[in-house]
Amino acid sequence: MNLLASIRQRFLPALKDLVEDPAPLLDLVRPAQDARFGDFQANFAMPLAKQLGRNPRELAQQIVDSVDLGDFCEPLEVAGPGFINVRISTSHLETLLQQVAGDDRLGVVPVSSPRHFVVDFSSPNVAKPMHVGHLRSTVIGDALCRTLRFAGHKVTSDNHIGDWGTQFGMIIYGFRHFRDETSWQEEPVTELARLYRLVNQLSEYHATRSSLPELTRSLDAARTELEAATAEAEVADDADRKKLKKRVSAANKEVASGEAALHSAEAAIAAVENSAALSRQAADHPQIARLAREETARLHAGDEENLRFWNEFLPCCLEALQRVYDRLDVQFDLTLGESFYNPRLADVVDSLAEQGMAVLSDGAMCVFSPESNAPFIVRKSDGAFTYATTDLATVQYRRDELRADEVLYVVDKRQSGHFQQLFETSVRWGIGDLQFRHVSFGTVMGSNGRPYKTRSGDTVGLESLLDEAVSRARRIVDENDDRRETASLTDEQRARVAEIVGLGGIKYADLHHNRDSDYIFDWDKMLATTGDTATYMQYAYARVCGIFRKLELDRSDIDFSRIPVLLRTDEERRLGLQLLSFGYALDGVLAEYRPHLLTSWLFSTAETFSQFFDKCSVQKAESEELQKSRLVLCDLMARAIRTGLSLLGIDVTETM
């Protein structure tokens, strides 16, 4: 049951008579924006008339005359320049709602030709603790997997972890020189994270110190330029003033960014020099960055000891990741990290070379493509393979071994250049019908408009972020429950609700933005009890459960599909129509892999429900039939919210 699809279907024959490809025109049949214009609107007559050189109103009328929708619509209406307004007959809506009331899938029919999707998401570089930047890929990717599966597709979720990169050289170096044996025995994960941070800090320290003269020099140059430009601007005549103003403002910017760079460099240096222990370590390890890189190179070359270290470290890293995934309720079918593809990389380069696609350039093997300026480097001049080589091997594996139809890469939009080159190269390499999609997303920002960081400038650890969400949610739950005459939740229940509300809040706040935009991380907004938040939906759900409790009815005992639905008021009719639109909300999500289209559907549903609930009393309904019918709508609404949220990986609770 998909009302929109049925209406489109009915328009199809008329359009087929007029054009070769009616699909884009049918796309212009949409839910109406304004109830005054009916429930749906067909907006294809205008572009079609243009194409055929005809009068749009006449054309619309001709189509209306030939279309048969009489069994479920009021007579069609042509309006304005040629819009066709479609109003579903209320009795048809009532019938459909009764059907959906007995359907677990809320009327959504599984796709007729399922495809096999590999969804590459989360994919952190391990050995570094997960941070806020990993939230987006994890949450968006999980929502897409759930929605694709619900739609009836086959999905393989694959966590393409970075488990073979330079960070391992860093912890190997740290392990050799700075290991604290007791904490390694007791808390290996924490110890490895500490070693990574330490080696990183010391390497950065040396790099920053040697960059200081250059930073100072360029700041001086910027200041000199600013002075010069300002002086010239003061004496300039009108003709030159505009140009000079621009120059002054550019110089100002240059000075500001130079000062910021210098300050942060000085802060990084001070952080080491203000600690006696760190200063000593820094002095004892002046070549730390190079030596850590050499550890990585030895690991890649198959050095026995480094491989042993790697084998010992990896399970700890995975365990730390798993803790986060368990908490977020995210599952992977596969975790095939970069190391898995290592044995295949030489063959990839050979194959590209054989086909004449990869050529030597300055000692590196590169694939050049007409579409992009930069070469796609598959083997560096020192012999090392790259991120690109690994991704090509991964493409091959997903096609040949996993037999995927389509791969989604849920990765930061800053990597779009890489993916464009990867897709182009793969196509030329001969990857057949395998489809690709970079599902890109923007950055999580702080209120200062810069990437979200802690006050001291560190990245925000993901686990502490989740903890904070839950503890903030706990405060809300406590306040809420304490306000009741008799507190109704036990301590254990409060903790459970806080977990559901806190994590739901974080996930929803991420998903309800169009994924390509950056968004500002805002605790208060994300846990607000009204507005477009998970908390609001969760409240709406709990409220409906409350209605049934008050009437002492157990929803699971009721066969809703046997109760006739009556849509007597506008509010009931609107809610009914909204509940029937779940299917096309999901179609929207999957058309371009945009989960925010599901959150907007949920928000509209909750709002439509709230209007219904204000106007149409369930307890004091005019008749028993009407009360029962309203209970059907309530149950449907609750299931819609629960199902919709579950596709986003968000849970609900019966009491809040």
Site for ligand ARG, rule CB under 6 A: 120, 123-125, 160, 162, 391, 394, 409, 411
Query: What single letter denotes the amino acid at residue 248?
Result: V
The minimum distance between CB 260 and ligand ARG, in angstroms, equals 25
Query: In angstroms, how far apart are the furthest CA atoms of the chain?
Result: 88
User: Which CB, 162 or 576, lies closer to ligand ARG?
Assistant: 162
Find out whether 409 and 438 touch, Cβ atoms under 8 Å: yes
The minimum distance between CB 167 and ligand ARG, in angstroms, equals 10
The minimum distance between CB 409 and ligand ARG, in angstroms, equals 6
Strands (DSSP E) contained in 173-301 are: none
User: Which CB, 90 or 166, lies closer to ligand ARG?
Assistant: 166
The minimum distance between CB 122 and ligand ARG, in angstroms, equals 9
The minimum distance between CB 394 and ligand ARG, in angstroms, equals 6
Please give the Cα distance from 388 to 345 (Å, whole number): 10
User: Which CB, 161 or 199, lies closer to ligand ARG?
Assistant: 161
Nearest CA-CA partner of 577 in 111, 26, 73, 18: 73
User: Which CB, 386 or 600, lies closer to ligand ARG?
Assistant: 386
Which SS3 state, helix, strand or coil, does residue 72 take?
coil
The minimum distance between CB 338 and ligand ARG, in angstroms, equals 8
Find out whether 395 and 426 touch, Cβ atoms under 8 Å: yes
User: Which CB, 393 or 470, lies closer to ligand ARG?
Assistant: 393
The minimum distance between CB 406 and ligand ARG, in angstroms, equals 14
**First-to-last CA distance in the chain?**
33
The minimum distance between CB 141 and ligand ARG, in angstroms, equals 10
Please give the Cα distance from 246 to 244 (Å, whole number): 5
Please give the Cα distance from 298 to 137 (Å, whole number): 31
User: Which CB, 85 or 389, lies closer to ligand ARG?
Assistant: 389
Please give the Cα distance from 389 to 377 (Å, whole number): 8
Find out whether 163 and 315 touch, Cβ atoms under 8 Å: no
Which H/E stretch holds residue 320?
A: helix 304-328
595 CB-near residues (< 8 Å, 6+ apart): 140, 143, 144, 147, 511, 515, 589, 648
User: Which CB, 412 or 587, lies closer to ligand ARG?
Assistant: 412
The minimum distance between CB 205 and ligand ARG, in angstroms, equals 24
User: Which CB, 11 or 121, lies closer to ligand ARG?
Assistant: 121
Query: The sheet that has 435-441: what strands, in order across it?
Result: 154-158, 116-120, 406-412, 435-441
User: Which CB, 138 or 480, lies closer to ligand ARG?
Assistant: 138
401 CB-near residues (< 8 Å, 6+ apart): none
